[in-house]
Amino acid sequence: MNYVYYIDDKNWHGASLYYEYPNVFLYVLVCHYLGVRRGFDSDLVLKPLIAQGTVTLESYGISYTVEGEKLTVQNISRRPLNIDLPNLNKRIVLRPRQTREV
C-alpha cells in the first residue's frame, strides 16, 4: 500500500507494517482480539481478549458478552454450534437461538 502513502518516487514495494494490509488487520482483529475463529474439530473456537462488552458476528453465527469473569454466549444462527472455550477447558453445544452463561 506504499503507493497510497508514498508518492515521492520511493522505489520499494509492500507495506512497512503488515497490519496496513486490510485482510491481515481484519484477521488479527477477529481471530486474536475478538477471539473467534473456525475450529478443526468444532464449529468455532472462542478465546476473547476483550475485558468487557458485547460482540456480534453474524457471519460466524455467534454473539457473546463479557462482563468481568462472566461470559454469555448466544447462537444466532439457524443450526447447532459446537464451541470450544480453551480458556475454560470446555466445549459447549448451542442449539439455534440458545444462550448460555459459562
Cell of 19: 497490519
Instruction: Going residue by residue through the chain, which has 102 residues, state the pLDDT in tens, using 9 for 90 and above.
Output: 444 455 555 545 555 555 556 677 788 888 888 999 999 999 999 999 888 999 999 999 999 999 988 999 999 999 999 999 998 999 999 999 999 999
**Cα-based distances in Å from 2 to 13, 19, 26, 28:** 6, 13, 19, 21
Global pTM?
0.75
CA atoms within 13 A on the CB side of 50: 17
pLDDT of residue 9: 54
pLDDT of residue 64: 96
Phi-psi region for residue 44, left (φ > 0), alpha (ψ -120 to 50) or beta? beta
> Whose grid coordinates read 437461538?
97
Residue partners of 72: CB distance under 8 A and separation at least 6: 64, 65, 99, 100, 101, 102
pLDDT of residue 18: 54
